[in-house]
Amino acid sequence: MIRAMNRTNERTVAVFSCILCALGASAVLGDDAKGAKPSIEAKADDVLERMSDALGQAGAITFQATDTMDVTGDSGDKQSKSARRRFSIRRPDRLLSTVDGVDGVQTLVYDGETLTLFDESQNAYARVDAPATIEGMLDYASGRFSLPLPLTDLLLRDVYGAMTEGVTSGRYVGEETIDGTKCHHLAFTQADLDWEIWIDSGEIPLPRKLSITYKTEPKQSRYVATLSAWDLSPKLSDSVFAFAPPEGAQRIDIMPAFADAADADEDTDEAAQSPFGEMGKKRATRGARRASGRRHAARRVHRGSVRPVHTRHLGPRVVRRPHHTRVLGSLPHQHTVVRLHDRTYYHHDGVYYHRTFHEGHVRYVSVRTPWGVRISVLPHGHTTVVISGTTFFHHDDVFYDRRYIDGTPVYVAVRPPIGATVTIIPEECVAIFVGGIRHHYHDGVWYQRAAHGVGVTYIVVPPPIGATVYTLPTGCNTVLIDGVTFYNLADTYYRRTLSHTGVTYTVVTRPY
């Protein structure tokens, strides 16, 4: 499927740019819900389905792609960015992708348990646990971290189902020669874009070229990829998908997908019990649902934002980000370095930055004032609030606690205390249902929406017993009680759990 969406109006042009790009939120309707089947000419339909069968039946695949994407520069002029990509997959749980472009070389490695991203020019990498199948990993990476791959539909078992979802019409154009190979030329139309594909007319119907035109983008931007070096029976050992950090490589985070939590609150179709949980099970069976011809009209709450049911596409996507977020390629001059909880932040002119993977490259992204930061003078315009008998100082949804060091008062940024009210919750919040009640969670803090309509606010609530999270809050301590390991933050205790979806942590009652 090639799907167009734009983040500013909950639709982002959802086609792939480089290894890592941001995924927008959208309401997506499947074919059944729309009540209409795509009008595809019989010959075009047959060629595309035979290509799908050839790719879907292969246990392992390697191929290369050279692509060019039109981008709009700061001056408004259209420019082109090119890249060379290499793909290796071994079903059901191995994937390696490398892209060499104007920004250097980036690699994505998936070994069935973990997903690793490596930026060679920056000598930096990030690693996270991942679901146990390629399809599950791609959905998780796309939904949680906005890290989809380009040309991903060609890696799926049901290529036909993925590519035709959202198509309104398709036709057979004729035969043409691509790099010396005779090919069937097919053309398809979707709501916001047109795309064409050239498929080898020989014995094995392999895709040789892809072209996408974005009808809603300025100057109708275009993406073109030429595919080559196909091998449908390569010998790929486990070592191909193993990653060992080079000497001196720095481990950093992956920037989570930006979320509009207020909008997510309006969608209660599914209970996201954990980062994987029931949604992980749904991902694992999605291929079977596609193969049986069923489509889905439901939206889902996914990591704190509304996500489309289908999130993998063929070409590059155009990214929108919140206006308040700053993303820098390099740090400002005269910045200072702040170390907190084994993490490094960079401070300049009242703004804190964190080094992270963002849209496929190492960047410096502005973040909220980190908890634990100490300042000597409170921000101008702060207010004083008393919560449960304790005095806090509040400014821009950041709470400060006054402490004394050697008799001198300092103000420490702290987690919002239980009972506190805020107007905006962190973009990284996860939407989690516990007992049928929606919570928004980020790094040890649990929020519930306190009002609807104009003037939405959120109240900080006690951690709900039984809630499951993917990562432990910053600053957790390990506690051994009666031979059982717990993870403790203030009065909250977590137990480590392991399931088919990966490692998670569950909030439990006080163990003593």
76 pLDDT tier (thresholds 50, 70, 90): low
Asked whether 162 and 290 are in contact (CB, 8 A), the reply is: yes
193 pLDDT tier (thresholds 50, 70, 90): confident
Q: Does residue 230 surpass a pLDDT of 90?
A: yes
Rounded average pLDDT over 107-120: 94
Rounded average pLDDT over 58-81: 82
Say if residue 302 is in the same domain as residue 450. no
The pLDDT of residue 20 is: 35
Task: Summarize pLDDT for 377-400 with one digit per residue, the tens.
Answer: 999 999 999 999 999 999 988 999
Rounded average pLDDT over 77-90: 89
Task: Summarize pLDDT for 474-493 with one digit per residue, the tens.
Answer: 889 999 999 899 999 989 99
Range scoring the smallest mean pLDDT among 5-9, 127-131, 183-187, 192-196: 5-9
Among residues 253, 276, 307, the one where a domain terminates is 307
More confident residue, 218 or 155: 155
Range of the domain at 290: 3-307
Range scoring the smallest mean pLDDT among 106-120, 185-199, 276-290, 320-334: 276-290
Say how far apart CA 23 and CA 307 lie, in whole Å: 9
Asked whether 212 and 315 are in contact (CB, 8 A), the reply is: yes
CATH of the domain at 271: 2.50.20.10
pTM score: 0.66
- What does R_g of the chain's alpha carbons equal in angstroms? 24
What are the backbone dihedrals phi and psi of residue 141, each rounded to the nearest 5 degrees, phi first?
A: -60, -40
Rounded average pLDDT over 16-40: 42
The pLDDT of residue 186 is: 97
Among residues 276, 307, 338, the one where a domain terminates is 307
Rounded average pLDDT over 320-341: 81
214 pLDDT tier (thresholds 50, 70, 90): confident
Task: Summarize pLDDT for 91-100 with one digit per residue, the tens.
Answer: 999 999 999 9
The answer to whether residue 214 sits within a structural domain is yes
Say how far apart CA 137 and CA 152 lie, in whole Å: 12
The pLDDT of residue 289 is: 35
Say if residue 439 is in the same domain as residue 298. no
Beta bridge partner(s), residue 504: 497
The answer to whether residue 301 sits within a structural domain is yes
The answer to whether residue 376 sits within a structural domain is no
Asked whether 85 and 64 are in contact (CB, 8 A), the reply is: yes
Say if residue 299 is in the same domain as residue 425. no
The pLDDT of residue 294 is: 27
H or E segment to which residue 290 belongs = helix 277-291
The answer to whether residue 75 sits within a structural domain is yes
According to DSSP, residue 241 is labeled: G
Number of domains in the chain: 2
Among residues 275, 291, 307, the one where a domain terminates is 307
The answer to whether residue 140 sits within a structural domain is yes
The answer to whether residue 312 sits within a structural domain is no
Which residue in 193, 155, 141 sits closest to 360, CA to CA? 141
Task: Dig out the tokens for 231 from the structure.
Answer: 């091998």
Say if residue 64 is in the same domain as residue 199. yes
292 pLDDT tier (thresholds 50, 70, 90): very low
The pLDDT of residue 362 is: 87
The answer to whether residue 98 sits within a structural domain is yes
The answer to whether residue 428 sits within a structural domain is yes
The pLDDT of residue 75 is: 60
